[in-house]
Amino acid sequence: MFAGLCVPVRAAGDSAAATEGRTLRLSLRECLDIALQDNPTVRVADMEVTRTDYSKRETLAALFPTIDFTGSYQRSIELQTIRMNMGGESQSIKMGSDNSWNFGFSASMPLVSAQLWKSIKISDTQILASLESARSSRLNLASQVRQAYYSLMLALASQRVIKQNYEVALFNAELFEKKFQAGTASEYDVLRSSVQVKNVEPELLQADIAIRQCKLQLLVLMGIDSRVDIEPTVTLDDMRADMIVKTSAVDRSLTDNSSLRSLDLQARMAAQNVALRKLAWVPTLAATFNISWMSLSNGNALRNQQFNPYSNVGVALQIPIFAGGSRYYALRQAQVQTKQLALQRENLINTLNMQVELALDNIDHQARQIDTSAEGMRQAAKAYDIMQKSFEIGAATYLDLRDSELANTTAQLVYYQAIHTYLISTAELDLLLGKE
């Protein structure tokens, strides 16, 4: 009876509330606020935005001068020997010094680097993509919280219905027990009414389990300790009055759909990547500066050192000529990717439009189903009242009464299930349209 009552949870979160042992009565808005603040998935998405911003700053840093310090020391084990003919005689001469010290600074700064400038623009788009990914995480989390909250309300409503049925069955069992003791009822009637009580008890236990599961899922999504109890502030009956949506007035624009926006950002980055690949043929120009100090000496490495400065400044020009075709094929890859994304976008739009139409049709159908089930519940309640009075005056059997009770219970469960299904569909539609 309660299969599929609760929505699945993506990931378990860490404890984020110091309210252990308390019962929290929270509205749906409050649950959403807590989840969007404390859920680890959202926090990870926010950290990804920060990471992407640092990545852009890393790219921007390439525009500034790069300064390095280098230092080296060499000790000659055997000096280099050369032979020279001097006056008809061959003489050996050793060249070099025992000690060689060299240290200094070098600096470079790009003056013309088209690929670097384009990379900065791509970094901006990557930040937008990370922001959209974080927004998508929030939308998905909000949808999951809404569905978990609605499922909890359904579980509570179902428990109330089954508990009423259980109390009626228990009352009838006690009534037949008294009648049997008074000699006005048979032992068979006592056994049958007692069995009915036992039949309802597992359903009541299953309803309690379903409530516990739904509460745990909602608490996990909110990032609250699972030992905290939670109660919704409204019921499914409270929500019916203002939940009907006129689907003809729904904005069907896919502008805010997260999947479409992410794909558009990917297409923008792909187009920028094509431009970046083309700039691989553009020459680059950089300014350079070097200053160093050198000392050569014999004997002790720490004595009699005389450092002489040496410095230069210049520009370095690099003109790409040939790289085995790697730049050309990289450009072709980027161009193919842009065509792929264009086809994916066209297919995604068609799929999303179909999903929106189906979602709106389902909501219309479910709205009518709520009205139908509400009328069926009213009729079942009236039939039960009539059968109850007939049973009291002996005009109906206990079996007739139980059939009426079962019909009344089923009608109530169907009614609440219809409201729950409608609310779930509206949450899914909001997620599809990207509504926050």
Residue 7: closest CA among 205, 150, 207, 139: 150
- CA angle (366 as vertex; 240, 144 as ends), nearest 5: 75
Count how many Cα atoms sit within 13 Å of the Cα of residue 370 in the half-sphere of its side chain.
Answer: 20
Residue 243: closest CA among 413, 7, 419: 419
| pLDDT for res 243 | 63
| pLDDT for res 6 | 43
Q: Which residue has the tokens 């120009």?
A: 285
| pLDDT for res 402 | 82
| pLDDT for res 244 | 57
d(CA 153, CA 340): 45
| pLDDT for res 42 | 85
Are the C-beta atoms of residues 197 and 166 closer than 8 Å to each other? yes
| pLDDT for res 17 | 41
Residue 17 token pair = 């509330």
| Residue 17 phi, psi (nearest 5) | -135, 140
SS (H, E, C) the chain: CCCCCCCCCCCCCCCCCCCCCCEEEECHHHHHHHHHHHCHHHHHHHHHHHHHHHHHHHHHHHHCCEEEEEEEEEECCCCEEEEEEECCEEEEEEECCCEEEEEEEEEEEEEECHHHHHHHHHHHHHHHHHHHHHHHHHHHHHHHHHHHHHHHHHHHHHHHHHHHHHHHHHHHHHHHHHHHHHCCCCHHHHHHHHHHHHHHHHHHHHHHHHHHHHHHHHHHHHCCCCCCEEEECCCHHHHHCCCCCCHHHCCCCCCCCHHHHHHHHHHHHHHHHHHHHHHHHCCEEEEEEEEEEEEEECCCCCCCCCCEEEEEEEEEEECCCCCCCHHHHHHHHHHHHHHHHHHHHHHHHHHHHHHHHHHHHHHHHHHHHHHHHHHHHHHHHHHHHHHHHHHHCCCCCHHHHHHHHHHHHHHHHHHHHHHHHHHHHHHHHHHHHCCC
Residue 347: closest CA among 272, 258, 435, 263: 263
| pLDDT for res 224 | 85
Q: pTM for the full model? A: 0.78
| pLDDT for res 95 | 75
d(CA 421, CA 403): 27
| pLDDT for res 9 | 38
| pLDDT for res 10 | 40
Q: Kindly list the distances between the CA atom of residue 315 and the CA atoms of 66, 287, 420, in Å, as whole numbers in the listed order.
A: 14, 4, 72
d(CA 387, CA 383): 6
d(CA 378, CA 388): 15
d(CA 400, CA 387): 7
| pLDDT for res 248 | 55
Question: Per-residue pLDDT for the chain (436 aa), expressed as one digit of tens each?
Answer: 443 344 343 433 444 444 555 788 899 999 999 998 878 888 888 888 899 888 888 888 888 999 999 999 988 888 777 777 766 677 777 777 888 989 999 999 999 988 888 998 899 999 999 999 999 999 999 999 999 999 999 999 999 999 988 888 888 888 878 878 887 777 887 888 888 888 888 989 999 999 999 999 999 998 888 888 899 998 888 887 766 555 556 778 889 999 999 999 999 999 999 999 999 899 999 999 999 999 888 877 787 788 889 999 999 999 999 888 898 999 999 999 999 999 999 999 999 999 999 999 998 898 889 989 999 999 999 998 898 888 777 777 777 888 888 899 999 999 999 999 999 999 999 999 998 7
Q: Count other C-beta atoms under 10 Å from residue 11's C-beta.
A: 10
d(CA 233, CA 316): 71
| pLDDT for res 88 | 64
Amino acid, res. 21: G
| pLDDT for res 373 | 92
| pLDDT for res 343 | 95
Length of the chain in terms of residues written: 436
